[in-house]
Structure 1
Amino acid sequence: MLKQFCDHCGEETEHREIIKQKPSKYGNSRKEQFKAFLSGFFAGTVSPAGASLDLIDRYVVCKKCGHKKRENLGDEFQ
């Protein structure tokens, strides 16, 4: 657990981290799903670690009030 200032509570509280998958920018048709597969495949061959980080968002959640805030910090989330 990490202690951070919560904008919602207005005090320093315990927070937990949550990693969620980003929504797909591709549609639900077979053609769009194939495009998503190819995009991920080629991105993974160039940079396996970078490709997986492109697909996730990091959130911190206040344990007191439950306020969720996206915190994609660092170059790996850009």
Structure 2
Amino acid sequence: MLRNGVLVYVERDADPATPLQLTLSKSRLIQLAGGGTDSDGIDVRGDIDVLKQILGVLDQGDPDFQIVLP
């Protein structure tokens, strides 16, 4: 679920009206969120353009972001 700019994992049965359903591992999800759309490991059911829309609103992470400052 994507709400208020936050992508939240919710485990539940898929609604038949859902435009896109993805089945993938946690590590593949992390790659996908980082922009890695080329590798295998995603089972896609539905409209792949929905995934492109979701990825289009996510900001790329800053690899130089300091989580802990000295």
Question: Which bin holds the TM-score, normalised by the shorter protein?
Answer: under 0.3
From the two aligned structures, give the one with the greater helix fraction. Answer: 1
TM-score normalized by the length of structure 1: 0.26
Greater strand content: 1
